[in-house]
A and B are shown apart, each in its own frame.
Chain A
Amino acid sequence: MFRPVRLGLLLTLAAGCASVPEPDWLSALRAREAEPLPSREIASQDRFFHARVPARTQGEITPIDDAYALRLDIGSETPMDCWIYREGLDFATSLAALSDSTFEAIGESFGEVEKRQIEQVDAGVLAGHPYLGIDWLYRIATRDGPQLGQVKHAIASKQGRGIYCQHNELGYSQSFRRVLGDLLAGLEFTAPSDAAPYFTQVSTLAIKGMRIGLERTTLVRDDAGDTRVDTKTSLLIPVTSDTLQVSDTFGVEFARSDGSLINQVHVEASNGELVSQLELNPIGEDGWQVEGTFQTKPVSVRLRPASPPTSWLGEALALRHAIAHAGVGGEVRLSRWVPQADPTRLVDESLKVERRVEPNHFAARLAMEGLEALLVVGADGSIASGSIPMGFASLEIERVYVSGAF
């Protein structure tokens, strides 16, 4: 699992410190990968889930609280541990907490964790399912001297349930993701899951080439024909070599088939603390009421906007209409409730179609409150990619998965 450290301050090496070269033996350990093993059928005793995994299970699948723990031999010295949860997980908050608890366990079992360092944060889709991961390097003090380790964590989601895996051994980074992807691909739940979305998209968020988070949007139609738009945004922003800013945001909008907003909810957790929980509901003919807490403070505001707020769906349908009828030069102006910007009012935004970049994609400029973003939008009005200048760099948004249509 560990490797004796031959250089006193070796853990200064990863994450961009170019002045300390990585020794060959460490590069070799970190480059190790496992050959794929034959796939096997696994199932929880209560048949909550079953799956096919290219790994040997070690021991029983154990129910623990609201999850099932399983240990997988993936062909490395150390097994890969996974937990399959009955409910969904907040990706970023959970990863940060599980990283901390893993280091506590490592400290208790093997020796004091002298230093830990973020090797990479990663986000994307595996087998069509969103995941967020973080790899750490660490150094522990043992009676035999300092030793170096690497622990990889990833959280994914399938059918509304959370799947968390970790692997505590130098190397096997691709093997870890491959096995997680295969687990996700073959995982089936017997218990009914939430209604299947008719549209899903996953976009990664990157700064300076590092994918630091992702946004997942799903559209589900209810019995009344209205659409529920769920948007989950998870961010793990490395701010020092061993420190993360952690946030999960969950937005729910109900919209009519024409895209007009019925109501909206916004919840935000920052560094593990619930900081905002807000609702926007209509009152009377032309008013809206904002209630809840914002950045831990109570907010209660009545809004009387000149025009009603638009939903995610309404924005996309308006953009689709502008592209279809005006093409390049088409413009959309609308008002939205964007609690992260200011929960006490609606903000105006405009989207202008500037040029065609592919047969079915257009470059567009989004402007809101003096902020600008350059987007590539599909003819259906959805956003395929975007770039938002942020001073020293830009936030790059890239859709990495799309399923269905609206």
Chain B
Amino acid sequence: MLALVLATAGGARAAGLYLHVLPVTHRSDVRLDAPGLRVSAFAADPRALAERFASGVEAVAPDHVELSLESYPQLHPLGAEGFRAASFVIDFEEPGLAALRDRLVGADTSDAALRRLADQAIPDKTLARGWDLASRVASSGSGDCSEHAVLLTALARAAGRPARVALGLLLVQQAGGVYAFGHAWSELYHAGRWVPVDATPVPQQVDAVAYLPTAILLDEGPGYAIELARGMQSTWVQRVEVR
């Protein structure tokens, strides 16, 4: 029975973007790029959600977690250990990624350069893919945010940079409104901190964005779908209040 949720997890996550935009309440003068940005994330199990954070949590209420987004919240685990090697999902050693690996040799491997390479390697921006492994992303050249995150993470590790896949919410400010979408992006390790690097292009008409991570893909093995599905239950953020 629960195999069904695993079968639909990828699609439903994407379908969430189409069928459902997360409810957001906010002050009329709020700016996502202003200092001191704070949010309340409402979830079925706020304590379990709060326990995922190493920084950023200011309070835990019965139905929500209050978070500071002034600096990018850090999720456990804090260290880079375990985020350097190839894995079933982040399979940068597979032949399918050889051409992209070759382009990294002697090249600029800054965050921006890696992000650009991953973006260019996925010319077909589509929600039709569920959750593809990095080698499949490289060969298909198609995907949504999760494929961009998986491929960028693989390219970063291939370049010797610790990297991991983050899941959570992308807060978007546009034409006076604030919206929240389920999203995936990469985190790259810089001087003891994880920094969000998003290979998925953000539309130009967007005024500002903010990232609210709620989970790290820790199981990159063949059982990765369980973790994805688990993230859609008790710790799923149901609505957001921006303060």
Q: Using Cβ atoms and an 8 Å threshold, which residues of chain B touch A196?
A: none
Interface SS of chain A:
strand
Residue tally, chain A, CB below 8 Å to B: 54
User: Which residues of chain B from 1 to 49 have any CB-CB distance to chain A below 8 Å in the complex?
Assistant: 1-20, 22, 44
C-alpha gap A393/B18 in the complex (Å):
12
- Interface of chain A residues 10 through 33 with chain B (CB within 8 A): 16
- Contact residues of A between 219 and 273, Cβ < 8 Å to B: 233, 235, 237-241, 243-247, 249, 270-271
Interface string of A334-351 (1 = CB under 8 A from B): 000010111111010100
A386 close to B233 (CB less than 8 A)? no
> B232 near A237 (CB under 8 angstroms)?
no
Q: Which residues of B contact A368 (CB under 8 A)?
A: 2
CA separation between A298 and B8, bound complex, in Å? 23
Residues of B within 8 A of A237 (CB): 8, 11-12, 14-15
A373 to B126, CA, bound (A): 30
CA distance A368 to B128 in the complex (A): 27
Specify which chain B residues have a CB less than 8 angstroms from the CB of A369 in the assembled complex.
Answer: 2, 226, 230
With both beta carbons as reference points, the residue of chain B lying nearest to A215 in the complex is identified as B4
Number of interface residues of B (CB under 8 A): 46
Q: Return the chain A residue nearest B23 by Cβ.
A: A392
> Is B14's CB under 8 angstroms from A249's CB?
no
Q: Are B5 and A390 in contact (CB under 8 A)?
A: yes
B88 at the interface (CB under 8 A from A): yes
A245–B130 CB distance below 8 A: yes
B222 contacts which of A207, A212, A344 (Cβ < 8 Å)? A344
List chain B residues, Cβ under 8 A from A233: 3-4, 7
Most buried by B among A233, A340, A368, A372: A340
Pairs across A and B, CB under 8 Å, 18 listed = A235-B7, A235-B11, A245-B11, A245-B15, A247-B7, A247-B11, A296-B133, A297-B88, A340-B3, A341-B226, A343-B222, A344-B222, A369-B230, A371-B226, A391-B236, A391-B238, A397-B1, A397-B4
Q: Which residues of A contact B (CB under 8 A)?
A: 16, 205, 207-208, 212-213, 215, 233, 235, 237-241, 243-247, 249, 270-271, 294-297, 299, 338, 340-345, 347, 349, 366, 368-373, 375, 383, 386, 388-393, 395, 397
